[in-house]
Structure 1
Amino acid sequence: MSLPPPPANSDSADTSAPSLVRTYRVWQGSNVFLFGGRLIFGPDVKSIFISVFLIIVPIAVFCGLVARKLLDDFPHHSGWSIMGVVIALTLFVLITLIVTSGRDPGIVPRNAHPPEPDDYNWTENSNNGQISTSRFPRTRDVIVNGITVKVKYCDTCMLYRPLRASHCSVCDNCVERFDHHCPWVGQCIGLRNYRFYYMFVFSATLLCLYVHAFCWVYIVRIKDFEKISIWKAMSKTIASTALIIYTFVCVWFVGGLAVFHTYLISTNQSTYENFKYRYDPQTNPYNRGILNNFKEVFCSRIPPSKNNFRSKVPREPLDSYRRTDIRPLSPLMKRTTGHMELLVGNSVYNEHEEEESHHRDGSENEARSKDSESKDSGLTDKSVDLSRIFHTEGVEGQESSVGRHPPWDPTPQVPDRIIEVGESNWTTGPRYSTQETL
């Protein structure tokens, strides 16, 4: 008779084999993923339904009340081509809209940690007896076709942005060849979807002009058939009149965008660069001539995505890097108000004690005497209980409730970042701000 194997220790199993999750489930940007990470949208993805509505409803009215009346008005049944062309053009507009909105625009993967500071000169400044280290250089100079171009350091993504990349504040990602964030498609427009965005805008302009023209054709045929004025003919087909007004307004928007982006392509600029830098033809380092600029957009190979949103990554390392990173506490740390104790500088900060401090009775002289005593000893009153609060080396925060596991386990990376008692705030080495300065 064989005995059943003893149950495995859950703690050891968790540490030895961390759970795997899809990358898109722990993605730090503001994107929305569908179909298991196969489609990626911006946080304003709902606006795409408005765009689809503004396309389909007018076309349905045109097909039902205008194009259907023109099916037999032309010889050799050529009136059917009116219906076929508008349906094909509408499908093309919708497909380019979905492709533009649902693909990776060229997101630059974030770094788990800031770049190594060995290659940079760090200066230390004394401020009230405390040593503070400088941040990374904000820009780096890159030579492009003999012209110096500055690339910025992104505090959020912890990297120097590639050429022509910028950080989208809506999606919270750095995007290669960032053009703009389009609310009508609910996505950033960048290196990997700019081609499809231009095709969407240009085909939508053609669709508006097509519907606008054949609405006039239908009105003129009513005028000629009934021998009436153009105004009376327009009153007999309200649908055509409404579509004429609607498409006229739309052409000003999408047509204006089509013309503007045609100019940008011809000069090899992005919308962001055009509004921010105002390149002259002689100083634009990316301008290769009109023909080559169009070839670069429409004939060059689209680079593959640098992100595999469906790949599986261990959940624990991602959480550990977040909690060891020098940034505000992540929600993954499961901080409980009144129970979390944090080591900040040379004192232990306890939220519960901070709230109770407002209700404590004590004179100002007593507080000053306590401060002087703590300065003599090199420790604050709260830091005396440091050994009681931190039972293991390398733990930054711990819940004080009895019988509970700590909200996170110590990792090998944490001890290098823990600030020892008596040291100044955040100065165990070079420290980097992870919040981007706007």
Structure 2
Amino acid sequence: MGRKKSSHVHNAPSDDDNNMYSKDSKPKRIYQLWPGNNKFYCGGRLVFGPDASSLLLTTAMIGAPAITFSIRMAFMIGKRYPFFHSLVLMGSLLLTVLDFTFLFLTSSRDPGIIPRNKDSPDGEGLDKITHSSEWVNNKLGNTKLPRTKDILVNGYTVKVKFCDTCLLYRPPRASHCSICNNCVQRFDHHCPWVGQCIALRNYPYFICFISTSTLLCLYVFVFSWVSILEANGKMLLMVITDDAIFIVLIVYCFVVVWFVGGLTVFHLYLICTNQTTYENFRYRYDKKENPYGKGLFKNLYELFFARIPPPVINFRDWAPEEPDVEVGSIASELDRAFGPRGGGGDKHDMDMDIGGDWKTNKGGLLLQTLEYDINNKNNKVEETVKKKGLSDGTVETTTTTTMFDVRSR
């Protein structure tokens, strides 16, 4: 039986939706139905990336040398300089515990996942759709949703893109991670060593993790050398035989510190200039004006002292009993979280203070999304278009003014 076409902008629930929300099915939490590739533990309290198994390798690379060094120091307490070796032992244990703590906080935390919109009303998967405008045209007749939109951020023009997977306009500095299959706020990069996206809500912990790892490498390297130098008067062969563990630790830490130390220095540079790794490689803000830079001290304050915003999604919430049937907005999930719309225009000006008021918004998201306003009374989309003839006789419709809204609260 064919489906009757309707001019109203509403979804007809698909068979999958009917099965998901049937009365006979048990209620489920959001994390159990989440379409991304994340792994959830402890009832949705812990959010890991799909490659969380890489944490085992990272843990071994940190723990093996650190624990070996600590055990060697413990044996040396009873031989000579007990007070000195006791202090060295406590220092190594403290750095090791801190390193593992920051690793866990980085990998198990929601990095800033943005809610996505619903599937198409015909129930077909979005992976069959090649362009976002095809999905919108399917609902809104001849209306085209522009692939990108220009907005003003602190006086600079910034393009925001439509995400074909999440069906929303990404906020400034957000990007879609192909590994986790999520749009993430202030996306920096996906780190395989922690098995998680590094973004808005776990970037401070990531900085602490790599910094502590660098300090731990230097700590083990230096005090391994000190322990060898204590053996005055010993022949070289005897030193190598008696302190072979320290020599292995020196070589290991010397190699590793170049990588983790270099990464730490690079990210300290990004912090001072208020860039992300993604922006540094894609937009090269170090060679042109950066719309997000606020000066060295404000940039440092933003990362180390500003409050980390709460997650936009509470994965432990119960999933709605019925699917969302309204498609009046490209970001209906965020509309409900942040409130009503404001005005519109082709270019929108936004005073984006990354470390200021926007973090106090509910959900911690400055930009809800760019909404597509629909005039329900006349069932027409309010837009100004210009038509121009192409060489092959076809007509191209170009959106010049659409009713989008970008708000900061």
TM-score by length of 1: 0.62
In the alignment, structure 1 residue 144 sits paired with structure 2 residue 139: no
* 1:86 aligned onto 2:92: yes
Contact 1:66 1:218 (8 Å CA) reproduced: no
Counterparts in 2 of 1:248-397, with a 5 A limit? Answer: 248-280=254-286, 283-314=289-320, 317=323
Residue 145 of structure 1 deviates from its aligned partner by 1.6
Paired AA for residue 162 in structure 1 = P
Counterpart in the other structure of 2:8: none
Structure 2 CA distance, aligned partners of 1:15 and 1:93? 46
Q: Which runs of 5+ in 1 are unaligned?
A: 1-10, 115-121, 124-131, 326-438
- The correspondence for 1:47, drawn from 36, 47, 54, is 54
Q: What is the identity, as a one-letter code, of the residue corresponding to 2:260?
A: V
Aligned partner of 1:183 among 175, 178, 192: 192
2-structure distance, mates of 1:95, 1:300:
20
2:164 to 155, 161, 164: 155
Deviations 1:192-245 (A, max 9, x none): 0000000000000000000001110111112x1x3434x652343111111111
The one-letter amino acid paired with 2:275 is: Q
Give the Å deviation of 1:159: 0.5
Note if contact 1:192-1:302 (Cα within 8 Å) is conserved in structure 2. yes
* Equivalent position to 1:205, from 210, 214, 221: 214
CA contact (8 A) 1:179 1:190 kept: yes
Deviation at residue 79 of structure 1 after TM alignment:
2.1
1:73 maps to: 80
- Contact between 2:58 and 2:194, CA under 8 Å: does it hold in 1? yes
Cα distance in 1, alignment partners of residues 235 and 92 from structure 2: 29
Q: 1:166 aligns with which of 175, 189, 194?
A: 175
Q: Which amino acid aligns with 2:86?
A: W
Deviation of the 1:191 alpha carbon: 0.2
Report the CA distance between 1:260 and its aligned residue: 0.4
Q: CA RMSD in A?
A: 2.8
Change (3 A) 1:267 1:71: farther
Shift of 1:173: 0.2
Q: Helix, strand or coil for the counterpart of 1:25?
A: helix
Code of the aligned partner of 2:114 = V
Report the alpha carbon displacement of residue 26 of structure 1 after superposing the two structures with TM.
0.3
Asked if structure 2 preserves the Cα contact closer than 8 Å seen for 1:41 and 1:187, the reply is yes
User: Could you tell me how far apart the structure 2 residues matched to 1:288 and 1:73 are?
Assistant: 53
- Give the residue type in structure 1 aligned to 2:42: F
Q: Which has the larger radius of gyration?
A: 1
Give the superposition deviation at 1:112.
2.0
Give the C-alpha shift of residue 73 in structure 1.
Answer: 3.0
Q: 2:73·2:88 contact (CA, 8 Å) conserved in 1?
A: no
Question: What is the letter of the counterpart of residue 166 of structure 1?
Answer: S
What letter matches 1:108 in structure 2? I
Change (3 A) 1:227 1:19: closer
Q: C-alpha offsets along residues 68-103 of structure 1, whole Å, 9 cap, x if unaligned?
A: 31565337x232111101001100000000000001
Deviations 1:142-180 (A, max 9, x none): 111211010111010010001100000000000000000
For the residue of structure 2 that corresponds to 1:141, the secondary structure is: strand
Residue in 1 that maps onto 2:370: none
Q: CA deviation at 1:59?
A: 1.4
Cα offsets for 1:1-58 (capped at 9, x unmatched):
xxxxxxxxxx9xx866864211110001000000110100000010011111111111
- Is contact 2:221–2:253 with CA below 8 Å preserved after alignment? yes
Q: Find the counterpart in structure 2 of residue 95 from structure 1.
A: 101
What does the per-residue CA deviation read over 1:321-351, in whole Å, with 9 as the maximum and x for residues that have no partner?
9xxx9xxxxxxxxxxxxxxxxxxxxxxxxxx
Deviation digits for residues 291-342 of structure 1 (CA, Å, limit 9, x no counterpart): 1101011111100001111111146527x89xxx9xxxxxxxxxxxxxxxxx
AA aligned opposite 1:45: A
* Alignment partner, residue 205 of structure 2: 196
TM-score w.r.t. the length of structure 2 is 0.67
- The answer to whether the aligner puts 1:239 opposite 2:248 as a matched pair is no
Aligned residues of 1:29 and 1:173 also touching (Cα < 8 A): yes
Query: Which residue in 1 is equivalent to 2:229?
Result: 220
How far 1:138 sits from its partner (Å)? Answer: 1.1
Structure 2 gap segments, 5+ residues each: 1-17, 121-132, 135-140, 331-409
Query: Aligned partners of 2:143 and 2:304: how far apart in 1?
Result: 44
Cα–Cα, structure 1 residues 98 and 15, in superposed 2: closer, same or farther, change >3 Å? Answer: closer
- Tell me the equivalent position of 1:23: 30
Distance (whole Å) between structure 2 residues aligned to residue 267 and residue 283 of structure 1:
11
SS of 1:317 mapped into structure 2: coil
Cα 1:281/1:289, change in 2 over 3 Å: farther
* 1:90-145, Cα deviation, whole Å (9 max, x unpaired): 0000000000000100000111268xxxxxxx99xxxxxxxx95752111111112
Fraction of identical pairs, as percent: 48
Query: How far off is 1:185 after superposition?
Result: 0.4
Q: Is the 8 A contact 1:201 1:258 kept in 2?
A: yes
Aligned residue type for 1:272: Y
